[in-house]
Amino acid sequence: MDKLFIVIPAYNEEANIFEVAAQWHKIIVKIGSESRLLIIDDGSRDNTFKILMELSTKLMQLLPVTKSNAGHGATLLYGYNYALEHNPDYIFQTDSDGQTRPEEFWQFWEKRNEYSILIGHRNHREDGFSRVLVTKILKIVLWCVFRLNITDANTPFRLMQAQILRKYISLIPSEYNLTNVMLTVLFFKHKENVKFIPITFKARQGGVNSINLKKLSKLAYKR
């Protein structure tokens, strides 16, 4: 039976974390008893981690972890490394703001043996023009910097074979802000078997965008 770790970073998500954890825990339970829902609290200043700890007494496959605040990208990297230490077969990543739909996970899981990396393509977006614009600009930047035509490099909805992720994770600096973007670039540069699948992307429930124009300008230094 395949072992899955779902990795979710969380920062000041007390309004959303209960529902998000409960929804994704149902997915983990269906996968198998050895799989885990790993939610990393990035030094939240609200009750996010307290809620997670209370939930973990009822959701037996929930694994809450807390650490000092370092930002979304660094927390993703921390979570990926933490998951890899537990030797899963697959790692799936999504965010804690409730923008993604757990029911859309299964189309990814069904194709896990056909592709090394499966990434969501946010073609049904409800999160506003500014977010769409940033994604389009990112695509242009990746072409200019790396000469790669990548459909949606930063999507927080991706299923990765652990052995493939392990090959590239050490190439990402520990405090880097665009972890998923750079992983996607590495997957493409090294011609891994990547597949994009359309997904729905709901309106942001709170918090701030993890990628902006200032961060995009730093991509050139990671060529």
Residue 103 above 50 pLDDT?
yes
Residue 207 above 50 pLDDT?
no
Distance CA 76, CA 34 (A): 21
pLDDT digits (tens, 9 = 90+) for 40-81: 999 999 999 999 999 999 999 999 999 999 999 999 999 999
**Structural domain boundaries, residue 63:** 4-222
Query: Would strands 157-161 and 117-125 be described as parallel, antiparallel, or unpaired?
Result: antiparallel
pLDDT digits (tens, 9 = 90+) for 108-167: 999 999 999 999 998 866 665 677 788 889 999 999 999 999 999 999 999 999 999 999
Check residue 11 and give its pLDDT. 97
CA angle 63, 64, 65 (to 5 degrees): 120
The CATH code of the domain that includes 10 is: 3.90.550.10
| 3-state SS, residue 210 | coil
Taking a C-beta distance cutoff of 8 angstroms, is the pair 202, 98 a contact?
yes
pLDDT band at 212 (very low <50, low <70, confident <90, very high): low
Domain count for the chain, please give it.
1
Which residue has tokens 């890899």? Answer: 84
Tokens of 18: 């209960």
